[in-house]
Structure 1
């Protein structure tokens, strides 16, 4: 019996795919000939439905597998995308569709679980590196332990947060597809290594962005802790921080070169 690898087909990241995301754009334009995101300053991908519901903007029905809205901020058009579910596979699928329509800059914004004792609910983390413990990234990139976001977009985003007087912690995250299989052994190891938080999407987003040659950055707002596990309660600090970080992300995109 041969030892299984992941992905099962060797060197998959070097091979051309049969389906192409451009097919999505072509199909959409049979209904909406002018469908494009090329003139936008970028798209913010949101995972919390409560936050997305607060966005007052025009809806673009059926443009992606999720809900997409466009709004004007400081004279530039920005997309807000939500309602597509959780996890790297769902996020990667929607990101591919956004890129096929012309998006070249994406900020992903969601909650994460703390792996450090001094990171509390409502604290903000800018992800500088993501451990690839999900499946999506391995279909896009060569085998490696981690993947990085766009340095220039992350730098600009952090500077914008700081100009909004938002304290932001910068460092690595752990992306996993299995939130109910995060073990004590993993939490202890990654906490000791200095990993700041656990999320589900960042590594997949960074991998797709790197493969497609666009800029992507990720922000986490801490919602709970994996070090001192307790029944989760929705913290008002988390919700407040999510709104603040969304405003800063809008400004970052509208002022990006």
Structure 2
């Protein structure tokens, strides 16, 4: 008897590993982010901020208000496995709307450091998603959230010289195996960026029937003769501030 990936009845459900089955998250809207800088900027923009204890693998979590709406933010450990576990536990305890704020390496010359990618589909090279959906499944975000997020990004960007584009994302478990042949091939397929969480999180969101979108600031460029990193640059920091503001505006409208 064969085993079909993405099927089968689980033995352990997310709520079963929590200390208290009565645990509930303090709000249904969440921003997930992976860097200290973006988390700090979320904290600066929220009002009535307080630290909250969530039963998830994360380094910090807060609750606050934005335009009169309660919003939570958490900083999970990076990578598909840790962030997927965090998402599962947040969903199990009542969260329903998510925007993931991350960084990505650009695969195509049309994107430079400081530009913005909104993934609309993804190539799965992480292991998590195959436990939820079959191999031929293509992860996609919430159309409603994507529409609101794109509108907010373009409004906040204004005339600033940065691109906001939609396209494919490549999620990998192995950042030191982002090879030139894959960069060339995936770029031709319309995949514009690479990172480590998006396809796993989009897959789980669809599996659990919650709304989730991802927005990525371009932090480095992989398409040239040499790798061009832009981590910590003023251009990237400026973009990440705009992305955080757009994400907060979008999540309260969702």
**TM-score, length-scaled by structure 2:** 0.89
Gaps of 5+ in 2: none
Give the deviation of 1:107 after TM superposition.
0.8
Q: What is the CA–CA distance in structure 2 between the aligned matches of 1:197 and 1:12, rounded to whole Å?
A: 26
Q: What is the CA–CA distance in structure 2 between the aligned matches of 1:36 and 1:230, rounded to whole Å?
A: 41
Contact 1:45/1:81, CA 8 A, preserved across alignment: yes
How big is each residue's C-alpha offset from its partner over 1:124-166, in whole Å with a ceiling of 9 and x where there is no partner?
1111001111111100011126311111111111112122235
For residue 235 of structure 2, the aligned residue among 225, 228, 237 is 237
For residue 73 of structure 2, the aligned residue among 74, 77, 80 is 80
Structure 1 residue 118 corresponds to structure 2 residue 107: no
Contact 1:131/1:145, CA 8 A, preserved across alignment: no
Give the deviation of 1:35 after TM superposition.
3.3
Q: What is the CA–CA distance in structure 1 between the aligned matches of 2:199 and 2:79, rounded to whole Å?
A: 10
Structure 1 residue 151 corresponds to structure 2 residue 143: yes
Instruction: Count how many residue pairs are aligned between Structure 1 and Structure 2.
Output: 241
For residue 208 of structure 1, the aligned residue among 192, 204, 223 is 204
Q: What is the CA–CA distance in structure 1 between the aligned matches of 2:174 and 2:184, rounded to whole Å?
A: 17
Q: What is the CA–CA distance in structure 2 between the aligned matches of 1:50 and 1:165, rounded to whole Å?
A: 19
For residue 103 of structure 1, the aligned residue among 95, 101, 118 is 95
**Structure 2 residue matching 1:146: 3-state secondary structure:** coil
Q: What is the CA–CA distance in structure 2 between the aligned matches of 1:194 and 1:36, rounded to whole Å?
A: 37
For residue 12 of structure 2, the aligned residue among 4, 19, 24 is 19
**TM-score, length-scaled by structure 1:** 0.88
For residue 30 of structure 2, the aligned residue among 18, 22, 43 is 43
Contact 1:28/1:63, CA 8 A, preserved across alignment: no
The match for 1:5 is none
The match for 1:169 is 165
Q: What is the CA–CA distance in structure 2 between the aligned matches of 1:253 and 1:95, rounded to whole Å?
A: 16
**Structure 2 residue matching 1:147: 3-state secondary structure:** coil
Which ranges of 4 or more aligned residues in structure 1 deviate by more than 6 Å?
none
**Structure 2 residue matching 1:109: 3-state secondary structure:** strand
Structure 1 residue 222 corresponds to structure 2 residue 221: no
**Structure 2 residue matching 1:13: 3-state secondary structure:** coil
Q: What is the CA–CA distance in structure 1 between the aligned matches of 2:118 and 2:136, rounded to whole Å?
A: 21
**Structure 1 residue matching 2:191: 3-state secondary structure:** coil
The match for 1:70 is 63
Give the deviation of 1:231 after TM superposition.
5.5
**Structure 2 residue matching 1:19: 3-state secondary structure:** coil
Give the deviation of 1:179 after TM superposition.
0.6
Q: What is the CA–CA distance in structure 1 between the aligned matches of 2:201 and 2:30, rounded to whole Å?
A: 13
The match for 1:250 is 248
How big is each residue's C-alpha offset from its partner over 1:73-94, in whole Å with a ceiling of 9 and x where there is no partner?
0111111110x32111111000
Contact 1:24/1:100, CA 8 A, preserved across alignment: no
Contact 2:222/2:228, CA 8 A, preserved across alignment: no
Q: What is the CA–CA distance in structure 1 between the aligned matches of 2:109 and 2:103, rounded to whole Å?
A: 17
Contact 2:5/2:135, CA 8 A, preserved across alignment: no
